[in-house]
Structure 1
Amino acid sequence: MFKMQSRLILSPVSCLRWNQKHSSTKPAKSSFAESMKPMEEFKRNRISKISVVGAGQVGTAISAMLLLRNLTKHLVILDVNYELAKAEALDFQQASAFLGDARIDPCGDGSHSKDSDVVIMTAGARPSGKDRSRLGAMHKTVEIFKEAVPKLVDLSPKATFIVIANPADVMTFAFQRIGNLPKHRCFTTGCHLDSARFRNLIAARLKLPASQIQGFVIGEHGTSCVPVWSCVSAGGILLKDMVQDLACGDDPENWSEINEQVIKGGLAVAKTKGYTNWAIALTCADVVEAMCGGRGKIVTLGTDMQGLHGIEDSVVLSLPCLVTSGGISHVFELPLTDVEEKKLHASAEILLEAQCSIKF
């Protein structure tokens, strides 16, 4: 014989009361929310049209990644050398059947970029002469921006602008000022690439996939960047809890050598190729993909971080940001050590000095 089990049967009225009671119950606000600093002007947008300004090695690589990942159905390749833009667009368009039937338009004067949802700025001067640093080409790139930015903003006033041109942090500051743009809609990929290099180097030591390492590099996208060792984790385990004097003090395992490798990662590639393009292209595509997704992604992006981590001046540098379709919605303040905090402020001072040298 089967044993009958008793069940509690609720009347329709009881069910309604139970649902009303439990659906109205809001979870307590987490103290974690205190680390999330919202961008007050942020609004979500829908992304369909993307313009890439510059058809050089970086701009073309970014275009390729956007198309291969099916992140846009309408791509505009813009370059003052219209014939080059036309050739690159035609090369992609001929294989449109393999790219989700995307529409790719060339442009020489900016007109086809009108009403873009995202504009990616790669155009700028390349370092030359004795000073081949990112800052060395700064003033020439500012002059390019003075001519190009007002028109781009006028044609796409609601767009989100991603600045790739080097020096990325300072050029983002210049772009924001020239275009009179809010900081949540004008930013650089900044240290997102440095963070990827950081994670890759740690993963190689631990013999793990890079995707299983969590860690951030903050500050300048350049020589004064700050790897945040105190927050590095592998499989949910904080590395500092497992390694003695991690990248500081005696550092018996010499983890600090990774800091230098992060800084010189791009130079190692450029020394042979003369430029870098694929890593930054994948970095940019990752940010755009986060913008196209539903709830976004936390990545280290560069924008004006005044007021965060005790930074008193208006200076563009990278911190972990939540990026979604409308740009940056929140910035996260990491629980930095005193040493990391000092390094971040030193990085901010270097960038502030470079910003102050710009003549608008």
Structure 2
Amino acid sequence: MAEKLGIHSSSFNGWILGEHGDSSVPVWSGANVAGVNLQKLNPDIGTDADKENWKDAHKMVVESAYEVIRLKGYTNWAIGLSVADLAESLIKNLNRIHPVSTMVKGMYGIGDEVYLSLPCVLNNGGVNSVVNMTLTDEEIAQLKKSADTLWGIQKDLKDL
């Protein structure tokens, strides 16, 4: 998204929640540059009515891992860099916020015992806390759908 806006990636703030893949949830309501909320500038951001077609940015995120695998056969560098970043927060007790899988039962109306990616504060004790993001009703519905997708897979595994 930063590239599309013509700014450095560190100047853009945005989150993708849920599972890593097709049912991941872009938090359009929280996407911002220097505190300027992009949804306030473009109320249709991420929807089919969006003339700027930001939905394609999320599609690109979802497809990026598949593209790397198609071209390279694996995604080891991206995974290695992510693990190093997480390890640094844990080892150095940084209390830094990362999107990591955590138990979401009871959050956002999710009733099943599933793990989804949410922003969490990490320190040398592991997940210290989960950031309770203010989501729109649509984003909550998408997060529940992501949970249902994973629960369907998990439930089948429990039956084995």
- Whether TM exceeds 0.5 here: the answer is yes
SS in structure 2 of the partner of residue 328 of structure 1: strand
Structure 1 runs (4+) greater than 3 angstroms displaced: none
CA contact (8 A) 1:223 1:263 kept: yes
Answering whether residue 46 of structure 2 is matched by residue 242 of structure 1, we say: no
SS in structure 2 of the partner of residue 349 of structure 1: helix
Name the % identity: 38
Structure 2 matches for 1:69-80, cutoff 5 A? Answer: none
Answering whether residue 153 of structure 2 is matched by residue 354 of structure 1, we say: yes
Q: Which residue of 2 aligns with 1:300?
A: 99
What's the offset of the Cα at 1:267?
Answer: 0.7
Q: How many residue pairs are counted as aligned between the two chains? A: 159
Answering whether residue 92 of structure 2 is matched by residue 259 of structure 1, we say: no
What's the offset of the Cα at 1:244?
Answer: 4.2
Answering whether residue 9 of structure 2 is matched by residue 210 of structure 1, we say: yes
Between the aligned partners of 1:297 and 1:212, the Cα distance in structure 2 is: 17
Answering whether residue 29 of structure 2 is matched by residue 227 of structure 1, we say: no
Between the aligned partners of 2:11 and 2:156, the Cα distance in structure 1 is: 41
- Which one has a bigger Cα radius of gyration? 1
Answering whether residue 121 of structure 2 is matched by residue 322 of structure 1, we say: yes
Alpha-carbon spacing, 1:293–1:212, altered in 2? closer, same or farther (3 Å): farther
Structure 2 matches for 1:270-309, cutoff 5 A? Answer: 270-309=69-108
Instruction: Output one character per residue of 1:115-169: Cα deviation in whole Å (capped at 9) or x when no partner.
Output: xxxxxxxxxxxxxxxxxxxxxxxxxxxxxxxxxxxxxxxxxxxxxxxxxxxxxxx
SS in structure 2 of the partner of residue 354 of structure 1: helix
SS in structure 2 of the partner of residue 252 of structure 1: coil
CA contact (8 A) 1:244 1:252 kept: no
CA contact (8 A) 1:216 1:228 kept: yes
Structure 2 matches for 1:1-360, cutoff 5 A? Answer: 202-359=1-158
Instruction: Output one character per residue of 1:285-330: Cα deviation in whole Å (capped at 9) or x when no partner.
Output: 1111111234411111102111111111111111111111110010
SS in structure 2 of the partner of residue 303 of structure 1: strand
Between the aligned partners of 2:43 and 2:27, the Cα distance in structure 1 is: 16
What's the offset of the Cα at 1:340?
Answer: 0.7
CA contact (8 A) 2:121 2:128 kept: yes
Between the aligned partners of 1:280 and 1:226, the Cα distance in structure 2 is: 20
CA contact (8 A) 2:93 2:122 kept: no
What's the offset of the Cα at 1:356?
Answer: 1.0
Between the aligned partners of 2:33 and 2:91, the Cα distance in structure 1 is: 27
Task: Tell which has more relative contact order, 1 or 2 (C-alpha 8 A, sep 6+).
Answer: 2
What's the TM-score once normalised by structure 2's chain length? 0.93
SS in structure 2 of the partner of residue 300 of structure 1: strand
Structure 1: 5+ residue stretches without partners: 1-201
Between the aligned partners of 1:285 and 1:333, the Cα distance in structure 2 is: 25
SS in structure 1 of the partner of residue 128 of structure 2: strand
What's the offset of the Cα at 1:249?
Answer: 4.8
Q: Which amino acid aligns with 1:235?
A: A
Between the aligned partners of 2:93 and 2:70, the Cα distance in structure 1 is: 39
CA contact (8 A) 1:304 1:316 kept: yes
Between the aligned partners of 1:220 and 1:323, the Cα distance in structure 2 is: 19
Q: Which amino acid aligns with 2:131?
A: F
